[in-house]
Amino acid sequence: MNEMIKILINVVFLGLGIYMALRIIRLRGKVTIQDEQPKILLIMIMVLVTLMIVSTIWTYQTNTIMDYLRLILTIVVIILFYLLRDGVGEEGVSITGKHYIWDDINAWDYGKNDKGTSLYFTMNNQKEDKDGKVNPKIINLSDDKAEEAIKIIKNYIPKKYKRMRKS
């Protein structure tokens, strides 16, 4: 691989790492009730990291410092992505690292499923898809955490509560 491409890939991963680290720092303390991360996600991350390490060791003769740097940066970015948690707090909701204050929420709903409870949110100024529908943002919680989250939400959005249509 060309050395310039390796440098470019490392810069991209460094930028992603800084971006996710800043989001994690900004969200610290704002999320009091965190979502349930699927166990399969952790297993997939561990398999991916293991395969990356094995492939780097396998090709050790042709590796440069940029390859090892890319490996480290990729692992850091994957771990930071795993640490970004969705959840509900006193100031609003956080979904995939982005924090929405209560005034940004247009409608919300919840539904129970096999694994717990899902909270559905639509935001103000959220773009519609081709069919004219707005896809809700979803937070999956266990049933006991969901009860606490619903109490917090009803406390901050008592009059804005709208039942959302199931699609």
| Per-residue tens of pLDDT for the chain, all 167 residues | 688 898 999 999 999 999 999 998 988 888 888 887 777 888 888 898 899 889 888 888 888 888 889 889 989 998 888 888 888 988 889 888 888 888 888 888 888 888 888 888 888 877 777 777 778 888 888 888 888 888 888 888 766 555 565 54
Q: Tokens in use for 25? A: 């720092």
DSSP string, 63-122: --HHHHHHHHHHHHHHHHHHH---EE-SSEEEETTEEEEGGGEEEEEEEEETTEEEEEEE
DSSP 31: -
Residues 6+ apart with CB under 8 A from 7: 66
E strand or H helix at 33: strand 33-34
The full set of domain ranges for the chain reads 3-85, 88-156
Length of the chain: 167
Distance of alpha carbon 104 from alpha carbon 106, whole angstroms: 6
Q: Tokens in use for 83? A: 């640490």
Give me the long-range contacts of 42-47 (CB less than 8 A, separation at least 24): 42/82, 45/78, 45/79, 45/82
